[in-house]
Copies of this chain bind each other. A is one copy, B any other.
Amino acid sequence: MKSKKDEIGSLAVTFREHDHAKCASLLLDAARDLCAERGLRLTPVREKVLKLLLKSHAPLGAYDILAELSTSGFRAQPPVAYRALDFLVENGLAHRIEKINAFVACSQPHAKHSPIFMICNDCEQVAETSIKSQGSSLDRTARAIGFDIRHTVVEVEGLCAACRERAPL
């Protein structure tokens, strides 16, 4: 029988159609499990922010989140959103996308990974994939000059398959 973990892995978000509600629900369960395991507190505002990210089909800016929080009875000063986002990012439940100053829920919260984001400049959706960092070209280059990698940012911009079909170049 497939584990929940496998099931989540197989749902890794791409530009393909998928059962988003199921995907979001599984990932929320996974986040709760992960927090329980590690003794982290998934407080109401943190969970709400994660839900907002999971629900969105595109990355959300901190102020988008803030706006949604304010319509849900939460306080809506910037630090409220940034703190929740910091918590989620620090604990691997979300990622920050530097190129667009926005945030997405992590699609593989259980696995230690170096995420890669493919940002469609047309539909603004973002796919998270990953490569294993061990032995990668990046890893070898860093090794060669004695650089100790703590965090990687890999983001590519372009057009997803659907948008290329819709508006061929």
- Which residues from chain A sit less than 8 Å from chain B, CB to CB? 14-16, 98-99, 116, 118, 120-121, 127, 129, 131, 136-138, 141-142, 145-161, 164
- Copies of this protein, total: 2
* A138 CA / B160 CA spacing, docked (Å): 14
Q: Which 8 A-B pairs have the closest CB atoms?
A: A146-B161, A98-B98, A150-B158, A153-B155, A149-B158, A151-B157, A148-B159, A148-B158
Q: Which residues of B contact A14 (CB under 8 A)?
A: 145
* A112 CA / B5 CA spacing, docked (Å): 41
Instruction: Point out the residue from B16, B127, B155, B159 that lies within 8 Å of A152, measured CB to CB.
Output: B155
A11 to chain B, nearest CB (A): 15
A152 to chain B, nearest CB (A): 5
By the criterion CB–CB under 8 Å, are A156 and B160 in contact? no
Q: Which residues of B contact A157 (CB under 8 A)?
A: 149-153
* A61 CA / B137 CA spacing, docked (Å): 29
By the criterion CB–CB under 8 Å, are A146 and B164 in contact? yes
* A98 CA / B164 CA spacing, docked (Å): 26
Q: Which residues of B contact A121 (CB under 8 A)?
A: 150
By the criterion CB–CB under 8 Å, are A137 and B141 in contact? no
By the criterion CB–CB under 8 Å, are B161 and A142 in contact? no
